[in-house]
Amino acid sequence: MIMKQNQEYSLFLLGLLESSAEQKSLDWLEQKVSKIKDASSPTGFFLAFSQASRFFSKDPLKLSDAEKNKAEQLVEGFDPSHWNSLQTARTYLLFHLNLEQEDWLKAVNQLFETGDLHEQAALYAALPLLPFQNELLPRAIDGCRTNMTLVFDAIALNNPFPRKNFPELNWNQMVLKAIFMQRPLYQIQGLEERRNSALAEIASDFAHERWAAGRNVMPELWRLVVPFINERYLADLERTLNSDDQLEQIAGALALAESDSEESNSLLQAYPVLMGKVTSGKYDWEAIGREFQDKSA
């Protein structure tokens, strides 16, 4: 089954590369693959993985709607429109590392530990496609401890692996790290379905720390408390409605609008202008996240 999946993934990635890379680069890739798949040692794979940067660019892939649909069919949530040609080529090489499980994991973990930032990012982004996912879970969790934005984003953003595999504690730690690093929460797959009361409390605590330091709060944070509205979170959201920051006001109003509690509805009705903005359909969490990222850039 693993070999069949690898073949499907390989053919799909090769198709993406054929529409984005030069023929000489594709020829080099196939030459390396022919050697890697028959080798008993990962040495050639390590060299090719590194050398791929000479032949493939970091230009983003441009996928057709059909290619996006095919990616989703292969793995739910897989969206290589966030990838570039180089990491696609490196992932393609991974699928031809023909070793037994123990040796395969040893080689891949060595690459995680010794690769440069772009190599690590390619590995983390490829996690949802890779075999032996249970064995790779500790590596993914450990990767979320990084302060390197490129690497953290490869794990946390536009990646279905954490949603599917992370235990709640590690999921919450990843989301909190994203908030701390002010990364776009709307790009975390499964954020709404995996909201939980512990995460809502963590988010509120973080907001209070920011306020105590005289700093604004990332507006997207408030979507995490929506299913768990209580007196504490109502007080938090009322504070956002009176913030000097308009985007924070809108985020608080949207959180209240999405709550099904009577108390939330009553509080929102006391702010008819904000209520009108969030019920008009102009704002959702992605729009709020994008505007916040634009302002922070």
Cα–Cα separations (whole angstroms), residue 21 to 56, 115, 264? 7, 23, 53
Structure tokens that stand for 151 in this block: 């690497």
pLDDT digits (tens, 9 = 90+) for 238-281: 999 999 999 999 999 999 999 999 999 999 999 999 999 999 98
Bridge partners, 84 (sequence order): 60
User: Could you give the dihedral angle defined by the CA atoms of residues 125, 131, 135 and 140, in that order, rounded to the nearest 10 degrees?
Assistant: 0
Q: How far apart are alpha carbons 265 and 261 in whole angstroms?
A: 7
Average pLDDT over residues 120-146: 96
DSSP labels for 148-162?
Answer: -HHHHHHHHSS-HHH
| Buried-state track 274-296, b at ≥16 Cβ within 10 A, e below 16 | bbebbeeeebebeebbebbbeee
151 confidence band (pLDDT: 50, 70, 90): very high
On whether the CB atoms of residues 83 and 60 are closer than 8 A, the answer is yes
* Whole-angstrom distance, CA of residue 220 vs CA of residue 290: 10
Q: Provide the pLDDT confidence category of residue 1 given band limits of 50, 70 and 90.
A: very low
List pLDDT tens digits, range 32-72: 999 998 898 999 999 999 999 999 999 999 999 999 999 99
pTM listed for this prediction: 0.94
